[in-house]
Amino acid sequence: MSREGIQEEESWTISDLAQQLDVSTRTIRYYEELGLIFPSRTEKGSRHYKRKDRARLRLILRGKRFGFSLDQIREMIELFDEDRTGRAQLLRTIEYGNQKLAEIDEKIMELRQLREDILVYKQNFEQKLLEENEEEKR
Amino acid sequence: MSREGIQEEESWTISDLAQQLDVSTRTIRYYEELGLIFPSRTEKGSRHYKRKDRARLRLILRGKRFGFSLDQIREMIELFDEDRTGRAQLLRTIEYGNQKLAEIDEKIMELRQLREDILVYKQNFEQKLLEENEEEKR
DNA sequence: CATCAAGTTGACGTTTACGTAAACGGCAGT
DNA sequence: ACTGCCGTTTACGTAAACGTCAACTTGATG
């Protein structure tokens, strides 16, 4: 067990966390409402968030930035939740993970394509710019 | 000039296009409402879409899949619209393009990070699976 | 000619993802 | 004890992105 309990675990209030990750407190509470995150409470009822909670919130926000709905994210989180047990569950979760990885790889491909599209647009404009300069030389 | 007008340009109805790109006709009309796409009309008022329109719609949908709002996409489309002229405008557009490319590169980075996170989760579960097998051996 | 599918516009409804305000408690500083 | 500030819950508001339905044309087909 080594030094369990000796190292004080850092913990933040909701507004601390909100500031760190640049979201509103409302948003964080809303995510809790949806079952995406479960901070512990002080005896007075105030939420406090530890490193693990922050990591989870980061994951949520990252997911959001790529068009995953909060519902999809919850689905994901539920499956990845630590306390699942049994070989069947584990296998399912791993399979789900593989699936998500594949989806992400696909997104990366698509993003590269989008990049390519934009690059072509831009080059088109650069070409026009060149032509305009040519005109000027006459 | 070569063979202008000889090659018949293919054109689709709104439901054709909807089916091709797997969106509803309502969605397509909505995008038009927002000024994202401007199909030509038959003399009777029916929309018809050509290859360029389809490419544009593809771009819109692609953008959406990565969390760009329709407003951002419109902004983008307006700036990339062909009929801008003047060196200053061209320069601005090119600069905008560079900016968007940078944003996309950042998104790709983030997506890689998300991939990494999920991979770690998955490996965690794989580890658990191994431990369970160990237990069984006793 | 009747009818039926597919097009149009317009209006209203719905879901998601929060914002915002009200009403309250706890605590620190003066 | 009063003032702020931060926290809480509850509730209503709202913008974005469509879905859905009604009412109407138009074109094709039995």
The pLDDT assigned to B132 comes to 76
Selected residue with higher pLDDT from A110 and A6: A110
The answer for residues whose C-beta is within 8 angstroms of residue A134's C-beta and 6 or more apart is none
Continuous H helices in chain A:
14-21, 25-33, 51-64, 70-79, 87-137
Establish if B3 belongs to a structural domain: no
Nearest alpha carbon to residue A122 among B104, B102, B90: B90
Taking only the tens place, the pLDDT of each residue in A4-14 is 544 567 899 99
- Give the number of other CB atoms < 10 A from CB of residue A10: 10
- Provide mean pLDDT across the span B67-77: 90
Instruction: Reply yes or no on whether the pLDDT at B13 is more than 50.
Output: yes
Cα–Cα distance list, B49 to B59, B86, B114 (Å): 15, 29, 37
For D26, nearest residue by CA–C1' is: B44
What residues have CB less than 8 Å from A31, skipping those under 6 apart? A37, A57, A60, A70
Q: Average pLDDT of chain B? A: 87
Residue at A71 is within a domain: no
Q: How many domains does chain B have?
A: 1
Do A21 and A47 lie in one domain? The reply is yes
pLDDT value at residue A131: 84
Provide CB contacts within 8 A for B91, sequence distance 6+.
Answer: A129
Nearest CA to CA, how far is A77 from chain B (Å)? Answer: 10
Is residue A53 domain-shared with residue A5, that is, in the same domain? yes
pLDDT of residue B119: 93
Highest mean pLDDT among A80-89, A100-109, B129-138: A100-109
Is residue A133 located within the same domain as residue A107?
Answer: yes
Taking residues B6-31, what's their average pLDDT? 90
Query: What's the whole-number mean pLDDT along residues A12-32?
Result: 97
Would you say residue A72 lies in a domain?
no
Does B55 map to a domain? yes
Closest CA to A29 of A66, A69, A59, A57: A57
- Please tell me whether residues A56 and A92 are part of one structural domain: no
**Does residue B75 lie within any of the structural domains?**
yes
Interface test mutation site (partner A, options B82, B104, B106, B114, max chain A beta carbons within 10 A): B114
Model confidence pLDDT, tens digit, residues A60-98 = 999 998 889 999 999 888 888 877 778 888 998 899 899
- Count the helix, strand and coil residues of chain B and give each as a percent rounded to the nearest 5: 65, 5, 25
Per-chain mean pLDDT for chain A: 88
User: Strand, helix or coil at B137?
Assistant: helix
- For residue B95, pLDDT over 80 is answered with yes
For A15 and D3, how far is CA from C1' in angstroms? 22
Query: Is A62 found in the same domain as A5?
Result: yes
Task: Using the Cα atoms of residue B17, residue B22, residue B25 and residue B31 in order, give the sign of their dihedral.
Answer: negative
A74 part of a folded domain: no
Min Cα distance B77 → chain A (Å) is 10
The protein side of the strand D contact, defined by CB less than 7 Å from any of its atoms, consists of A 13-16, 25, 29, 45-47; B 24, 26-27, 30, 34, 44, 64, 69-71
End-of-domain residue from the set A14, A39, A66: A66
Residue A96 structural domain: 84-138
pLDDT recorded at residue A7: 58
Claim to verify: residue A62 and residue A90 sit in the same structural domain: no
Name the token pair of B75: 């902004």
Answer yes or no: is A76 within a domain: no
pLDDT score, position B138: 59
Across the interface, whether the CB atoms of B67 and A66 are under 8 A apart is answered yes
Any idea what the CATH number is for the domain that residue B21 is in? Answer: 1.10.1660.10
Q: Which residues of A touch B121 (CB under 8 A)?
A: 80, 97
Query: Which of A80, A125, A132 has its CB closest to that of B121?
Result: A80
How large is the greatest C-alpha to C-alpha distance in chain A, in angstroms?
83
Overall average pLDDT of the B67-79 stretch: 89
**Around A104, how many Cα atoms within 13 Å sit in the side-chain half-sphere?**
22
- Asked if A122's CB is within 8 angstroms of B115's CB, the reply is no
Predicted confidence (pLDDT) at residue A38 exceeds the cutoff of 80: yes
In a domain, A60, yes or no: yes
Which of left, alpha, beta for A112 (phi over 0: left; psi -120 to 50: alpha)?
alpha
Are A115 and B104 within 8 A, CB to CB? Answer: yes
Tell me the mean pLDDT in the region B105-126.
91
pLDDT at B3: 47
Position of tokens 């000889």? B6
Give pLDDT, residue B5: 46
Token pair for residue A108?
């990366």
Closest Cα in chain B to A128:
B90
A98 and A37 within one domain: no
Q: Which residue has the tokens 């584990």?
A: A90
Q: What percent of chain A has pLDDT over 90?
A: 58
Angstrom distance, A95 CA to C8 C1': 47
> Could you tell me if A113 and A61 lie in one domain?
no
Residue found under tokens 């509103």 = A24
Same domain (yes/no): A61, A108: no
Residues A16 and A61 in one domain: yes
pLDDT above 90: residue B27:
yes
CB pairs under 8 A between A and B: 108
The angle, 0 to 180 degrees and rounded to 10, between the axes of the packed helices B51-65 and B14-21 is 40
Same domain, yes or no: A92 and A137: yes
